[in-house]
Structure 1
Amino acid sequence: MRKDPYLLLSPALLLFCGLLVIPLLLVAILSFYAFNGTTGVIPDFSPGNYFTIITDPFYGEIFLRTAGMALLVTVICLVLGIPETLILARMRAPWRGIFLVLVLGPLLVSVVVRTLGWSILMGRQGLINDTLLLLGLIESPIRLTFTFTGMVIGLVHVMVPFMIISIWATLRKLDPTVEHAGRSLGGSPLTVFRRIIFPQLMPGVLSGSIIVFALSASAFATPAILGGRRLKVVATAAYDEFLNTLNWPLGAAIVVLLLIANIVVIMGLNYYTERKYRMIFASGDPA
């Protein structure tokens, strides 16, 4: 066996282990320590922190809120991202490049800056409430900041570009003559999309969904600013344990459980989608 590939990969592998694997292992070890409000972290190896998180309804609600938020953001990004990508693909130069820059432009701005902008827009005296009041759609300002809805809106704005990039990469590989063939054989636009285009977009849809779900579930800045101190998600709960209560072992346990939950969801989604579409294409029926 040749050793050259492994020697070439060794610098990147060492960097990967030093910056990611080793810190995660240290966090996992820390999660099994105990904590005392007087003496601090106690090197008493036990799974007590995990039992506390699993049995406490407070943390259960936080994990459920985080999962629901990440799932809802992923679905909304799919609903917005697929049509946007298809429209971009059908544009001609130079409009395609211009609108692609506009869609991906928010990635050039800090997440914190974008979220602060949304907090201003969604405030009681912000542009959204002022517009709704001017149009007579509401009688009094509605509360959008420090709500679940506000967090979802802010995260969708942050995550949509990632979904569009993933679907765009897959869409660029498709042969447009396949769509034309379906239309020439009498298929309606909806049927052609459902039976021809969408199945071929599944790699991009899957990768985009995984990226958006993982980033939404672990997001901190947007939920912290738009959700406030009371509407916690897993990332803000871990932050509070690390820097407010100084209970590092409990915060580490929260982080480890979030990582495990993300891995389980991503691997499950990947396995289900690959298995389903492997069976579809093996049978020759793209419906």
Structure 2
Amino acid sequence: MANTVSLVLPARHSPAVGPAHIYLALSPSVFMLLIFFALPMGMMIGLSFTDPVSGLPSLASYQRFLTDGLSLPGILRTVSMSLCVAVCVTVLGYPVAYYLARARGRTRALVFALALAPELAGVVLRTYGWLIILEDRGFINDALLHLGLIASPLPLSKNMFAVVVGLTHVVLPFGILSLMTSIQGIDPNLERAAQVLGASRASVMRHVVLPLSLPGIISSLLIAFTMAASAYATPALLGGAGFKVIATMIAEQVLFYVNWPFAAVMANVLFLMMLGVSYLGIRFEARRRIRLSGRGGVTS
């Protein structure tokens, strides 16, 4: 009978991480959020319930928001503008993101640099660039007039179209990055397998890539919507005085009318609107994941 020798090593115990360690690690971040986010938000909410003249508690600013005939249309205009920007950013950014997720080599680096190049210039500088291009005597109208294609300048500026174009240019890099991250998580072998089984390239994109990249699409829509809804410089410059969105109306109340309570009301409504849209997007993605998990599907 063979002799066996067993070597028993002492168990190595990892240091226990208790609640105290977790709270200690989170305390700096929580402190920063409390000081620079929760406290200002609380002050703004409290300010919205005060009377602009007497400073006493009052619902007058909320009543004015609902009845003045300008604030509610401003909310609808903000929502429609942000939705247009979100759709444009996602549709335009998806092909670029797919190329960046699948390509290799120097060309990919060049395209990636060009996609992020707009972020190297300030928002105001980019907005003035579009103003020069889109105004009545801008590059596009001058070129069309010179070629004889139009008899009078096209209304390309001081309207929704100009603001959507400018904001799409501003937000597009963020949408591309969000979509690229999601597409990179999709196994390229799934696309090859579908093509081997006879699927066309369009069918592969429609039935394989698009469903699996849905989290990135939702993320791109949410990022573009929230950034567009809170933008000020681009709507103010490209939209002109007649194009009122919530951000420009807030600035107007603070700078010209010095009505801080009413500005706080509009800021609260804008914040709640963005929270609601983000919640709906997150809930939609969570339910999709639960549904796929219940069917044994693949989630990205």
Code of the residue aligned with 1:112 in structure 2: it is V
Q: 1:259 to 1:280 in 2, by over 3 A?
A: same
**How many angstroms apart in 2 are the aligned matches of 1:283 and 1:191?**
22
Tell me if the contact between 2:254 and 2:263 (Cα under 8 Å) persists in the aligned partners.
yes
Q: 1:30 aligns with which of 43, 47, 51?
A: 47
Partner of 1:39: none
Partner of 2:87: 75
Q: 1:136 to 1:185 in 2, by over 3 A?
A: farther
Partner of 1:43: 55
Alignment of 1:194-209 (within 5 A): 194-209=206-221
Tell me if the contact between 2:49 and 2:57 (Cα under 8 Å) persists in the aligned partners.
yes
Q: Which stretch has the larger CA shift, 275-284 or 229-238?
A: 275-284
Alignment of 1:221-260 (within 5 A): 221-260=233-272
Q: Does 1:121 align with 2:121?
A: no
Q: Does 1:111 align with 2:111?
A: no
**How many angstroms apart in 1 are the aligned matches of 2:225 and 2:242?**
23
Partner of 2:27: 10
Q: 1:281 to 1:184 in 2, by over 3 A?
A: farther
Code of the residue aligned with 1:196 in structure 2: it is V
Q: Which stretch has the larger CA shift, 128-137 or 97-106?
A: 128-137
Name the count of aligned residue pairs. 281
Q: Does 1:282 align with 2:299?
A: no
Partner of 1:184: 196
Partner of 1:213: 225
Q: Over the residues paired in the alignment, what is the CA RMSD in angstroms?
A: 1.6
Partner of 1:152: 164
Code of the residue aligned with 2:182 in structure 1: it is T
Percent identity over paired residues: 36
* Deviations, residues 234-286 of structure 1 (Å, cap 9, x unaligned): 00001111110011000000000100011111101221233235324533578
SS at match of 2:70: helix
**How many angstroms apart in 1 are the aligned matches of 2:57 and 2:202?**
58
The two structures have a TM-score, normalised by structure 1, of 0.93
Code of the residue aligned with 2:48 in structure 1: it is S
The structure with the larger Rg is 2
Tell me if the contact between 2:215 and 2:285 (Cα under 8 Å) persists in the aligned partners.
no
Consecutive aligned runs of 4 or more in structure 1 exceeding 6 Å deviation: none
SS at match of 1:208: helix
**How many angstroms apart in 2 are the aligned matches of 1:157 and 1:53?**
32
* Deviations, residues 166-199 of structure 1 (Å, cap 9, x unaligned): 0111122221111100111111222211221112
**How many angstroms apart in 1 are the aligned matches of 2:22 and 2:288?**
35
Q: Name structure 2 gaps, 5 residues minimum.
A: 1-17
Code of the residue aligned with 1:2 in structure 2: it is P
Displacement of 1:133 in angstroms is: 2.5
**How many angstroms apart in 2 are the aligned matches of 1:165 and 1:92?**
16
Tell me if the contact between 2:157 and 2:238 (Cα under 8 Å) persists in the aligned partners.
yes
* Deviations, residues 122-174 of structure 1 (Å, cap 9, x unaligned): 12121111222344432211122211111011001011111001011112222
**How many angstroms apart in 1 are the aligned matches of 2:296 and 2:143?**
52
**How many angstroms apart in 2 are the aligned matches of 1:189 and 1:80?**
19
* Deviations, residues 7-56 of structure 1 (Å, cap 9, x unaligned): 122112111211111111111110111113xxxxx321122211211233
**How many angstroms apart in 1 are the aligned matches of 2:240 and 2:148?**
29
* Deviations, residues 81-110 of structure 1 (Å, cap 9, x unaligned): 111111233433101011101111111211
Q: Does 1:62 align with 2:79?
A: no
